[in-house]
Amino acid sequence: MLDVIYYPVSAILWFWHKVFGSVLGPDNGFAWALAVVFLVFTLRILLLGPAIRQVRTTLQMQQLQPQIKALQKKYAGDRQRQATEMQKLQKEHGFNPLMGCLPALVQAPVFLGLYHVLRSFNRTGTGLGQLGMSPEVNANTPNYVFSAADVQSFLSARLFGAPISVAITSPDSTLASFAQFGGIPAVSTIAAVALPLMVIASLATHFNARASIARQSSEAAANPQSAIMNKLMLWVFPLGVLVGGPFLMIAILLYWVSNNIWTYGQQHFVFARIDREESAKHVAEAERRAPTTPKPGARPATRKKKRRR
């Protein structure tokens, strides 16, 4: 069942590795790192439409807050009537709550799929979900659309001396499997690459949250539930990246960084587009309400008086 996710994710990663590997070399660590980054960009482009609808849904939800609060107050003692009236309000304004969480729902299995595919390049571990293969068997076992040669290429790839498929906390048995693929990496080398990525990912998560919160209306920000969520987004989630980072392989940290960088740019692009649309809408509405008002710079029209005979 999960192969529906694993094969497409591995196919996109395979494509970008072939693109960058043809220029930098198939075993080059930067070729594999760029393949992970452009896998993220590809998926985010495919999700751009739902992401824009998500932002519109969030803004629409903020605009409907006064009416929603009025309904909650009016039908406080009748939950069923309150739900009925809420659905009626949403239908009148074409509001779909599902669109507010659809991109996140889609990205979650994609992230898990990427994590599984990257982890499956090295199946020598014996922990939860690992197969406990010997280094020789692992190196000669394909990984979804990747051939055995591709698996060996991934194991040989180094980013500033560190394999991108290891984490700071990777066990010695996992590190030992790299002995014939560039040597066993030192934990200090892995940390030198992983720690900056963890810090960048944490800061990017924080600033993305700040940009999103800055767009909230005063009513939404004053809501107790929103206030709690805002604090989680600003401080707890970025801290979670630092706490969980040592357990994530370098390739996953690359995914996290590139995903956050894309999100930061996308937010500015989408919000600027929506602001232009709202501005044009307000101008059109003003012109519709005052059709006789002369446009800026235009001389007011004067009526000619009829001559009396």
Which residues does 104 contact at the CB level (< 8 Å), separation at least 6?
none
User: Which residues in the chain show pLDDT less than 50?
Assistant: 309
State how far the alpha carbon of 297 is from the alpha carbons of 137, 281, 283, 293, 300, in Å.
79, 21, 16, 11, 9
Is residue 302 in a domain? no
pLDDT at position 103 is 64
3-class state of residue 179 by DSSP: coil
**Could you tell me which residues are beta bridge partners of residue 159?**
162
Range of the domain at 218: 3-276
Torsion of CA 41, 157, 2, 254, to 10 degrees: -40
Residue 258 lies in a domain: yes
**Per-residue confidence (pLDDT) for residue 220, from 0 to 100:** 67
Please report whether residue 304 resides in a domain. no
Indicate if the alpha-carbon torsion angle 121, 244, 32, 28 is positive or negative. Answer: negative
- Specify whether the CB–CB gap between 157 and 29 falls below 8 A: yes
Amino acid found at 246: P
Query: Any long-range contacts for 184-189 (C-beta under 8 Å, 24+ apart)?
Result: 185/158, 185/161, 189/160, 189/161, 189/162
**Both tokens assigned to 274:** 């929506």
pLDDT at 305: 52
164: in domain: yes
Total domains in the fold of the chain: 1
> For residue 145, is it within any domain?
yes
pLDDT number for residue 296: 60
Could you report the per-residue pLDDT of 150-206, keeping only the tens digit for each? 999 999 999 999 999 899 999 888 888 888 898 999 999 999 999 999 999 999 999
Residue type, 36: V
Is residue 265 assigned to a domain? yes
Instruction: Return the pLDDT at 122.
Output: 87
Confidence (pLDDT) at 184? 92
User: What integer pLDDT is reported at residue 30 of this predicted model?
Assistant: 95
**In this structure, what token pair is assigned to residue 46?**
């495919």
Going along 9-145, which residue ranges are E strands? none
Predicted local distance difference test score (pLDDT) of residue 27: 92
Residue 291 lies in a domain: no
299 domain residue, yes or no: no
